[in-house]
Structure 1
Amino acid sequence: MSFASLGLSDDIVRAVTELGYTEPTPIQTQAIPVVLSGRDLMGGAQTGTGKTAGFTLPILQRLSDRSVKGPSTGRPPVRALVLTPTRELAAQVEESVRNYGKYLKLTSMTMFGGVSINPQIKQLRSRVDILVATPGRLLDHIQQGTLDLSQVEILVLDEADRMLDMGFIRDIKKILALLPKDRQNLLFSATFSDEIKLLADSLLKSPELIEVARRNAAAETISQKIHPVDRDQKRQLLAHLIKQNNWFQVLVFTRTKHGANRLAEQLDKDGISALAIHGNKSQGARTRALAEFKEGTLQVLVATDIAARGIDIDQLPHVVNYELPNVPEDYVHRIGRTGRAGAVGEAVSLVCVDEKKLLADIERVMKRQIPSEVVPGFEPDPNAKPEPIQQRSGGGGGRQGQGRGAPRSGSSGAGAGQGGRTQSRQPAAQAGNHNSRSPAGGRRPTGRHH
């Protein structure tokens, strides 16, 4: 199967080929013909399967094949709208659009908060065919009268599960009310919760359902392991594992921004180069940390869940859950940073007595038991008593120019992170150092997409 055989134009196939990709992934093989046909689509795919190209390539094809609908007066119309939960993902999706559409006469832009709105207003005065945006900043533009969505032909909700986790449902409903009823709708989600199904039922018209992996499943190329350990020995065990196994490019997850900062500082003192990224870090600090991590000069990157959305690194070998997530589905997203595009990856979780219920929830959702191995010298105290778990403090954090709603139940309160518009304006990385998004997200079309 080739990209040309899926019905894509020579100009699109040329751009894809120049990026080094020749064969579509399963999600692309199934999704591209559906999107090209104009049908609504509900797509389920685990991270790293090439999902983004599954909708960007056919959208480029459809828009380039058709002229603008209806008379255009004043500001040129936005023809396709892609909503994403985080600014990093928005930047990466829009870069995909630019890379794949380099030989087409279509324009695109990103729109998110945490940065000045004025350059975005200026850009909207020119033609924008494809807009990739986070919900909160999009509604800011609507309120200021700088954006017209009345001629949108295609709507994409990307990472819909994360958007609901972050409390965006009210924003999404407001945006849907501004769109023309006659449009194509595409919804992509790594997991299909009851809330996602309800949203899909209200949004999609006789959709085609595509699932390329069992729901809430991790890639088979990821080796998963649990290391039981006392809570006050986690940092020492992590340092031991990194040094003993000579690990480099280790992505470590914590629940809170404060915890990420503290762990990065402690690892540095242990002689392991580490930096933290989260919403309270400046845009420059996040950009530098990501750049150093991708280049391999930074050994450990400590991240919160939301901040890690959009981290897309070739051959990332190690993911460590320093603390298990409060939401079981987040475990799948976390470990999906490794084992991408068929590469082998390793996911290790350090689990203390406080987290036994969280581990049970994860194994129930994944429908499998994760192998457990006690590391000699770090045997947990069998008489240790569990203590209450601190709730995550905003994940990717900051206002991020997104979201108005409170997080849905089950998303751990403030863990909605970027969902709350009452939070302070905190700049975050625009993913300026992210890799080019390819059909598979960066190498060959076997994945790196969310």
Structure 2
Amino acid sequence: MSSELLAPLDLAFWHLESAGHPMHLGALAVFEAAPDASDEQTLDLLAARAAAIPRLRMCVRGVWLPLGGAAWSEDRQFDVRRHVRLVGLPGGDFATEVNRLAGELMERPLRRGRPPWEMYVLSAAGADRFAVLVKLHHALADGMRAVAIGAGIFDQIADDRTAGDRRVRSVPPRSWLPGPHQVAGFARERIEEFGQAMGIGASVVRASRLDLWGGSVLAAHSSGTRQLATAVLDQKTVLSIRRRAGGTANDVLLAVVAGGLRRWMVERGEQLPSADPRALVPVSRRRPGAPQGSGNTLSAYLLGLPVAEPDPWRRLGAVRCAMDRNKAAGPLRGAGAVAVLADRLPPLAHRFGAQLAGNAARMLFDVLVTSVPLPRSTLSLGGSPLREIYPMAPLAHGQSLAVALSAYGGQVHVGVVADGRAMPDAERLAELFPVELAELLEATNER
């Protein structure tokens, strides 16, 4: 695969990382073990399939030009065994031990100088299940691209690749100098981008708050620790509510998150905030058929989570109205489109302004809530069927919670990533999401 410059947003994610603040996303996949599957066979199969994915052979190297830039280049000393490991679980409840260990592994930054990813097979002696934890640096993949990359480990996608039905094409290197025929178009695009960046920048300033910590339980100095909690929601229930209430399934899920947070705050004895905590809701700008090497293409909406509203039906209505306004404006406008602003900055600005940008996140939003689409087909690894898959999003600087959701197999799997010191009770928050969904269904049926 040819060398290519990191896209501006990828470069921003790369420089935002620090030793105590890793910037990788992940997924925890739980499989029902096939009768003849052994841990060593699973590990060998996972290693072979990961090694066959060209993108996973790429590492980040510095470049002379453009100043402050970096490029993806093939790791000439690539050894997949540096990235794929088998970890044994102690006795006890399988789900509890998997979540505990996955949280510990998510704390560890990916080693620089190597392709920025890791996979772990988590297995307990005598268990009828095993799990695979996947870690991908956010510079390597946004949610949709992470799915596209990670899907290569599954039997169905790997078989298609072997048959030649799906081939990953190399991406030509990006030239930072336009040719003579591109000068006029380049100048026009830069002027348009400058105007758009000024508009987004003004929106960011207007949306920023002076109460940096605001007394919110969702804001905390980063401790570098991570706690993972999971929950399962019934997808049929979500769709039933959507049909009755209108809007989208994502509106329902956002309302469930808001209601779960309300319940959790009340249980803790927290005073409900006078102003709605803000959720950053990522949205992809990736076009269908876009090449894998085109970089992160994210924008986002800002949404006030109506945690002070006691009625679940009204909470859903408030979420629907706010998201309808966001969608009418589009993903390239407003303070939530700050990711678009990264596309307009030169590489040198990302290198020296990363810490400032990271600290500014808490001024814009309080919690990340993201939905990650998955293939609808049934998936397996070495004949072991996939039963659950929990996405995990990275934490922003100064924030203690990120919630990610994915639908698979008639269920919506919720992955909660929390700062372990600020939110040691993240598991309780996850337990409240199904409770809130049931109450929202009841409130919907009463209408």
TM-score, length basis structure 2: 0.27
- Which has more strand, going by share of residues? 2
TM-score, length basis structure 1: 0.26
